[in-house]
Amino acid sequence: MNKPGQRLTPFERGPYPAPRLVKRAPPFWFPMKHPMSLSAVQKPVRRELERVQAQLRDLFRTPIPILNEVGGHVLATRGKKFRPTLLLLVARLRGHLGLDAVRCAAVVEMVHAAALIHDDSVDRSELRRGRPTVNGLWSDQMAIIMGDYLYAQAMSVLVEHKLGMAMEVMARVVAEMSCGEALELQYAHDLGVAEEQYEELIRAKTGSLMGAATEIGAGLNGGGGDLELRVRYRRFGELVGVAFQIVDDLFDYQGTAEVTGKPVGYDLAEGKVTLPLIAALREATESDRRRLKRLAGSKRLSSAQWVVLMRLIERCGGFAYARRRALEVAARARALSDGDSGRRERSRRPSSLPARRRRAGLRAIDRRRGTALARRALDRAVDYAVDRQC
């Protein structure tokens, strides 16, 4: 572990480059005194998330020893389950969380895992959040096979259990995610990428799966035919994903290896041109733009050069703009969620009803209480997208 005050030097090889002392680290893009905790978001669906994990253990089990070994590693290194959480919370707005919701949440997590495994192989990353990747421990070939297996297994679950609405959504989104990966390769090392191109890339690569999770959640419990509701929650999830990715891209510049599990500047070293740099290049003077391009286009930077790059991006407003944009996108997501609150069911007070109807009324109150908890948790999920530690 590197000592406090030290930052990993970007653009160097290794699993981790040797830490070097930087006398004055550039200021953070925003002080997060009280970042949102994921556990606060997941509290209303914690029991269902445990069932999702049990479902994943069953789905990862195969008669092929090497797939079991690799699958066990993937299960052991999967952690947050933010996307399944979004699906379960939106489904909870409409009522009971049954086995179909758990199955769909497990499918979303399997597709997310498959995408990350393929992404690590494409990027030749040996670590993800400080833990070895499949291609790092085995090979790129094994990573491709494991990712393909997870995609196929996810779709087979939807077919087996006749979850047609979820199948329709996932078939569309897996294609969108592939397009996002292709755009990332197309725009690699291109310092002329526009903000609109960047946002379309991250919507396809990151936002589309979060949008799938929330759309499927809205379509469960009899909501499959409510296309207006499904589209509303698809857009909500996509916006949460875009805000989430913008913050993730800020972490590449201003995070720490202890928190993110990778050296600072790793994505830029891989040629990923993200919003802080795009905004800085757009607003810079001609002289600063030339310096930014020279530094950002370098294959290796010293610690001193990295500090210069950071200060240039800050001076040109890149960090402030990216932060502001993430908050704007999050606010649009929140407005979509709030706009659905008027659809909540209403009923008479149970004390004024006959006994049998009173029991039904109490169950309705329990449902509304669960709905209120889920709605507050979704609000916290938006907070988490922009105010998290990593």
> What gap in Å lies between CA 227 and CA 225, rounded to an integer?
6
367 — pLDDT class (breaks 50, 70, 90): low
Quick check: 98 and 48 in contact, CB under 8 A?
no
- Look at residue 92 and tell me whether its pLDDT is greater than 60: yes
Q: What is the pLDDT of residue 125?
A: 82
Cβ proximity of 163 and 217 under 8 Å: no
Residue scoring higher pLDDT (37 or 223): 37
Instruction: Output the pLDDT for position 22.
Output: 36
HSE on the CB side for 154, CA within 13 Å? 27
Separation CA 298–CA 110 (nearest Å): 36
Residue pair 233/214 in contact (Cβ under 8 Å)? The answer is yes
pLDDT confidence bin for 323, thresholds 50/70/90 = very high
Task: Place 356 in a pLDDT band, splitting at 50, 70 and 90.
Answer: low
Residue 53 to residues 47, 85, 95, 157, Cα–Cα distance (Å) = 10, 12, 21, 15
CA gap 235, 237 in Å, rounded: 5
CA-to-CA separations, 301 to 9, 256, 275, 305, 307, in angstroms, rounded: 8, 17, 20, 6, 10
Amino acid in the structure at residue 194: A
Q: How distant, in Å, are the alpha carbons of 5, 143, 186, 248, 323 from that of 279? A: 28, 35, 20, 16, 11
Instruction: Give residue 23's pLDDT band: very low, low, confident or very high (50, 70, 90).
Output: very low
The proportion of the chain whose per-residue pLDDT surpasses 90, expressed as a percent, equals 68
Q: Report the pLDDT value the prediction gives residue 357, as an integer from 0 to 100.
A: 55
CATH fold of 37-386 reads Farnesyl Diphosphate Synthase (1.10.600)
Tokens representing residue 313 in the block: 């991006």
Among residues 294, 299, 248, which one has the least CA distance to residue 275?
248
Rounded distance, CA 242 to CA 357, Å?
Answer: 45
320-346 average pLDDT score: 83
Q: What pLDDT is attached to residue 288? A: 97
Query: Mean pLDDT, the chain, as a whole number?
Result: 86
Q: How confident is the model at residue 96 (pLDDT cuts 50, 70, 90)?
A: confident
Q: Residue 132: beta bridge partners?
A: 127
DSSP state of 34: S
CA–CA distance from 352 to each of 310, 348, 356 (Å)?
Answer: 65, 7, 12
Taking residues 283-287, report their average pLDDT.
97
- Rounded average pLDDT over 268-277: 95
* Rounded-to-integer distance, Cα 295 and Cα 279, Å: 16
What secondary structure does DSSP assign to 352-379, as a single string?
GS-HHHHHHHHHHHHHHHHHHHHHHHHH
| Inter-residue contact 231 to 339 (CB < 8 Å) | no
Looking at 33-42, 203-212, 335-344, which range is the least confident one?
335-344
111 pLDDT above the threshold of 70: yes
Query: 95: Cβ–Cβ under 8 A, 6 or more apart, which residues?
Result: 221, 367
* Sole residue written with tokens 């990593």: 390
Tokens representing 191?
Answer: 């310092």
Residue 245 to residues 56, 84, 91, 286: CA-CA distances in angstroms? 25, 17, 24, 29
pLDDT digits (tens, 9 = 90+) for 221-258: 887 889 999 999 999 999 999 999 999 999 999 987 77
Q: Position of tokens 């979509």? A: 336
CA-CA distance, 113 to 107, in Å (whole number)?
10
Report domain extents, the chain. Answer: 37-386
C-beta neighbour count of 65 within 10 angstroms: 8
